[in-house]
Amino acid sequence: MSTYEYECEKCGLKFERRQAISALPVTECPECCGKVRRLVSAGAGFIIKGSGQERSDRSGSDCSLEKTGRTCCGQDERCGKPPCGDGE
């Protein structure tokens, strides 16, 4: 689910809606029933701190999680079984 920002062209109301990326955009203002437009927003970001070398020095470094975002068993976090890791 993503959060989209909208603005009413009639009354100027700005509001957000949490919607699936495949959902149709909102077209009507919840206050005045005027036409709305979806705003372009920067979205949410995140910062990864560190050099990235922390995991490569420990056992379980062959885990595909760091390379593909999924483990060898298809999970999005380490399962603790070799080669996923040392039971973190």
The pLDDT of residue 62:
61
Q: How far is CA 64 from CA 4, 50, 55, 58, 85, in A?
A: 33, 19, 12, 14, 10
Between 5 and 54, the more confident residue is 5
Q: Are 16 and 5 in contact (CB under 8 A)?
A: yes
Q: With cut-offs at 50, 70 and 90, classify the pLDDT of residue 56.
A: very low
Question: Residue 60 pLDDT > 50, yes or no?
Answer: no
The pLDDT of residue 17:
93
Angle (CA) 78-81-86 rounded to 5° is 75
Is the omega angle on the peptide bond into residue 83 within 30 degrees of 0, that is, cis?
A: yes
Question: Residue 49 pLDDT > 50, yes or no?
Answer: yes
Q: What is the pTM of this model?
A: 0.48
